[in-house]
Amino acid sequence: MFDGFLTLKKSCEACGLDYSFADPADGPAFFVICFACVPSVFLGVWLEVQFHAEIWVHALVTLPSLLATCILPLRPIKGWLVASQFYFKAAEGRLVRSGEANTPAKPIGPQGQ
């Protein structure tokens, strides 16, 4: 489904599904920030406050933790969001422009003709 790290292919290789509907936008980044990045930052803050950790400790513990928890989940979360968009048929809202919806209402009854 991916052409590169986060770029989607035009269509599915197996079934030919067109991925033009897929637009998770900032969704993957939002979930990564909420559930991975914030706990990782708390780890760094905790190390600093509790142990007054040296900068090399942060370079060896906090930085790899931040990179791993922020970069690695992006791809599976994006795949999950695209699959959810497909499953729930989520798309941008569109106005209905059928012929009957825009015609003015006619009076009903014998005088209506």
Q: Of 4-12, 28-36, 39-47, 97-105, which part binds Zn ion (CB under 5 A)?
A: 4-12
Q: According to the binding rule CB under 5 A, does residue 17 interact with Zn ion?
A: yes
Q: Of 8-16, 58-66, 77-85, 104-112, which part binds Zn ion (CB under 5 A)?
A: 8-16
Instruction: In angstroms, give the least distance from the CB of 25 to Zn ion.
Output: 22
Taking CB atoms, the residue at the shortest distance from Zn ion is 12
Instruction: In angstroms, give the least distance from the CB of 12 to Zn ion.
Output: 3
* DSSP collapsed to 3 states, the chain: CECCCCCECCECCCCCCEHHHCCCCCHHHHHHHHHHHHHHHHHHHHHHHHHCCCHHHHHHHHHHHHHHHHHCCHHHHHHHHHHHHHHHCCCCCCCCCCHHHHCCCCCCCHHHC
User: Strand pairing partners for 8?
Assistant: 2
Q: According to the binding rule CB under 5 A, does residue 18 interact with Zn ion?
A: no
Q: Which is nearer to Zn ion, 32 or 78 (CB)?
A: 78
**Rule CB under 5 A: which residues touch Zn ion?**
12, 14-15, 17
